Amino acid sequence: MGSQKRDYDVLEIVPKWEITKIYLRCLLANFTILLKWLYESVKCKVNPTAIMRRTIERTDFPNKPPIFMTDTNLGRHSYVKLENTKLHFVEAGSRSNPIVLLLHGFPDCWFGWRYQIPELTHYFHVIALDLKGFNDSDKPHWRFEYTPKKVCEDLRKFLIAISAKSVSIIGHDLGATIGWLFAHTNPEMVDKFVSVSTPHPNLLWDNLPKSSPFNRNWLEFVQLPMLPEMELKHTADKLLRRCHSHVTKEKLYLSGTNGTLTNNLMEAYLYSFCQTDDWRGPLNYYRNFLFYRVRDGEILQCPCLIITGNDDRFYKLESVVKSSEFCENFIIKIIEQCGRAPHQEMAAEFNSTLLKFLIGKKFSQKPTEVQATQARGLVGRMFGGIGTVANNTVKLGNNLRETYAFANPLSNVPNFMIKG
């Protein structure tokens, strides 16, 4: 127990004055939403056609998951119960292989890794987890169930339940934030860590672009319970389509039992976030994580891959690149013409980079000598990262250059998994 306590001592809470300021702004934001609702209510009573227009514009959310969310084409659906919380996950690949744990972002679920699971199963036992509060995992209502310490402890217990002594973690967005925290608090259980489009927690919360739908104003608004959930349910379709705008460009998935092909991937997200309770768990992460930082001087010792798109409007590129300051051994990869979800938007290039990092020469067909990053400052990191956009190379930090090699792009991604 003593060692566990020391591990979680790397987390610290922001000053009380900052907490007070956040809650004052939260009250103001929620009061503004109440005034908006009051105005809309009065308008509907005065103008009945407004009710008709809202009814026409309303999105019909599916009441059952699409077939590709429940079949076993991507993997076996399994559950683990931890005390009072049941977690759903999809597993694929041989259980004798090393384990890769996939942690999705917000708003997403295990299905967000649909392009990585088939590739990783050639080398790993893949676990694509529905985070607590998401999709088919249990959704505890209480806020304290989502503190960083509680979330990391649940993740540690989950790994013990599936007999995993250590894993490689790949996280996107909220899943990457959890991955950063877990790697800091449970370093002995993390072999390698991949952060997808997500800055380190110490750089995340105070550096959000105003253009992001999840900017600082949004974070302050969602701190109070109930009202934000109701507002998000009301605007769910618009928000989901903004976050997953690339989905409409993806190729087809099987729809129904007649074997027809349609692009109905949005059904997965509309189903996963169709109820008020579907938003409560995700929001509870932000009601806790916003107030925590990693203690100064804490550096991850495991090999880290930081990968992002050069056109991400949700997080600042500078913050993502600067996150390498919290890693002893790191690689930075910036994918060209890509937004916040490179693992979905540019799956083939992402998978190639990922497998080169995870298994090195086993995946390499034509090893190429790679030079190590010389500059540890932000300017050096930024120019090194931007260079990857120009010449499609990867810069390395410290001790990784001996084990890392280039590979040819993937050629065996299933046709239905590749975007045209």
pLDDT digits (tens, 9 = 90+) for 270-314: 999 988 999 999 999 999 999 999 999 999 999 999 999 999 999
Which residues fall within 8 angstroms of residue 191, CB to CB, at 6 or more apart? 98, 166, 167, 168, 302
Residue 212: both structure tokens together: 């992001």
Poorest-confidence range of 3-7, 100-104, 241-245? 3-7
Pick 11-359's CATH classification: 3.40.50.720, 3.40.50.1820, 3.40.50.300, 3.30.1330.40.
3.40.50.1820
Picking from 178, 166, 174, the residue whose alpha carbon sits closest to that of residue 109 is 174
Poorest-confidence range of 41-50, 188-197, 212-221, 358-367? 358-367
**Torsions phi, psi of 191, nearest 5?**
-80, -50
Compute the average pLDDT of residues 135-149. Answer: 96
pLDDT band of residue 4 (cuts 50, 70, 90) is very low
Poorest-confidence range of 26-40, 117-131, 141-155, 188-202? 26-40
What confidence score (pLDDT) does residue 50 get? 53
Name the strand (E) or helix (H) holding 185: helix 174-185
What confidence score (pLDDT) does residue 84 get? 85
Q: Is the pLDDT of residue 254 over 80?
A: no
Q: How far apart are CA 382 and CA 160, in angstroms?
A: 38
Q: Is the pLDDT of residue 335 over 90?
A: yes
Sign of CA dihedral 241, 244, 246, 251: negative
Residue 262: both structure tokens together: 């349609």
Q: Is the pLDDT of residue 397 over 80?
A: no
Q: Is the pLDDT of residue 395 over 80?
A: no
Q: Is the pLDDT of residue 409 over 50?
A: no
Compute the average pLDDT of residues 320-342. Answer: 96
